[in-house]
Amino acid sequence: MEVKARAPGKIILAGEHAVVHGSTAVAAAIDLYTYVTLRFPLQSAENNDRLTLQLKDISLEFSWSLARIKEAIPYDSTTLCRSTPTSCSQETLKSIAVLVEEQNLPKEKIWLSSGISTFLWLYTRIIGFNPATVVINSELPYGSGLGSSAALCVALTAALLASSLSDKTHGNGWSSLDETNLELLNKWAFEGEKIIHGKPSGIDNTVSAYGNMIKFCSGEITRLQSNMPLRMLITNTRVGRNTKALVSGVSQRAARHPDVMNSVFNAVDSISKELAAIIQSKDDTSVTEKEESIKELMEMNQGLLQSMGVSHSSIEAVIQTTVKHKLVSKLTGAGGGGCVLTLLPTGTVVDKVVEELESSGFQCFTASIGGNGAQISY
């Protein structure tokens, strides 16, 4: 049997960093996906006593005997309960880490360890100790702030849950899970994100699971329904950043200048709320007028992010390039590098700006905003 699943990456449209200080943030799915294919061998097939993970994008393969996995990961009949998402204990995580270490990851790929650990935890908790080959490939650049880890957790969980569904009449096309299974999927994916990130907000996995857009404030996530098409040019600066240090830097600045920074955070909150209202609006305002309003809000948001100290010379270089083409851009995510969003109003041709950005060493994607969440196919 073969099951396929895919899950989208995400962008932060407005509110990054300020959200840590109580402001509203708006995040959206993008049509760049991580794909997972789950293949179960025939009973008589060779290697029907192994679990194999193939990472196609980076040409790596890992394989464990089921006996070795059972030896390392505590198991009894009560621990396999796919309908009740559970956290991975520190003790179990240490045992899983040993399984990963035995695969002798290249030093330059050691950052994959947490993702592989997440794979082993989700697989054994949802499927149990059954042989399979799991193939993963992704359109999302790793570690660039586009939610690649959440897309992995969501797509993997979708494939694992789908393999146990009694209804397999979806055909060859992509189909969404029903609301009950989506809720279960999102909870399991969040447990996976906890292994990778420690204390994730839940924003990334929720956007990836449900798609479209969400509004997030003080721990409360509200799903939004977009009523207008949005396209963005996403530019990956290829500059790595330390999210923890950037978040800490904003907090330190807020401690030094509390009144000023509170005003900044309040302004960001207003921008996020107005942006959400525009996107959901069903009034007679034309798409062009809405796009003009979004451009202004993005421009203001970027200015406020600069005042927080989280921009970077690479981000400014992208902004300067897009401004020459009369386009508005802002950083997305932690800043300090990472990715930059550029709004593409209806009818915009991006060939020239993309050529100029890529000639400077940047990586560019065009993406539709607010599309499908997790989907499966048989």
Cα–Cα distance for residue pair 70/75, rounded to 1 Å: 7
Two structure tokens written together for 170: 């979806």
What is each CA distance from 212 to 57, 136, 141, 233, 248, in whole angstroms? 26, 23, 20, 17, 30
DSSP state of 233: E
Please give the backbone phi and psi of residue 46, each rounded to the nearest 5 degrees, phi first.
Answer: -70, 160
Secondary structure class of 358 (helix, strand, coil): helix
DSSP string, 315-356: HHHHHHHHHHTT--EEEESS-SSSEEEEE--TT---HHHHHH
Task: Determine the straight-line distance between the first and last CA of the chain, rounded to whole angstroms.
Answer: 8
What is the DSSP code (8-state) at residue 141?
P
Q: Is 204 a catalytic residue?
A: yes
Instruction: Name residue 196's beta-bridge partners.
Output: none
Question: Is 95 buried (19+), middle (13-18) or exposed (0-12) by CB count in 10 A?
Answer: middle
Amino acid present at 163: S
Token pair listed for 276? 């959400």
Q: Residues 57, 167, 204, 259: which is the catalytic one?
A: 204
The C-alpha atoms of residue 109 and residue 91 are separated, in whole angstroms, by 24
Q: Could you tell me how many helices (H) and strands (E) the chain has, helices first? A: 11, 13
Closest CA to 184 of 201, 204, 160: 160
Residues belonging to the active site:
204
